[in-house]
Amino acid sequence: MADPDAMLQLLGPVANRIPEQCDELNDPKKYLLGLARRAGRDVRTDLCADTGAMASQDLGYNRRLCQLVEQHWSPVRAAGRSHRLRRACQRIAQLEKIASP
């Protein structure tokens, strides 16, 4: 959720409701699904389970988010707004240096 451009592609204007400090959300998935309920019909249909369903998301959730990551998500943009992702990227870069001969 830290990449505002990708989230705009997924959710449309409702993506503007994502807080800049999204790392601080208690339940990011629940928050995303709440926003998806206000998004276009195709997003709602893919992401949101029917009322009373046992699962919190619908069957298209993983497919839709994988497509988003492959086509629109930028780890650089996301790391600019997520201190957790930024630290993970830095650690991976350190490990890459150690592993490279």
Binned at pLDDT 50, 70 and 90, residue 51 comes out as confident
Neighbours of 13 (CB within 10 A): 9
How does residue 100 score in pLDDT terms, banded at 50, 70 and 90?
confident
Q: What is the CA radius of gyration of the chain?
A: 15
Residue 19 has phi, psi (to 5 degrees) of -65, 150
| pLDDT at residue 18 is higher than 90 | yes
Structure-block tokens of residue 20: 């800049």
Alpha-carbon distance of 79 to 74, in angstroms, equals 8
Rounded CA-CA distance 67/46 in Å is 12
Over residues 22-43, the pLDDT tens digits come to 999 999 999 999 999 999 999 9
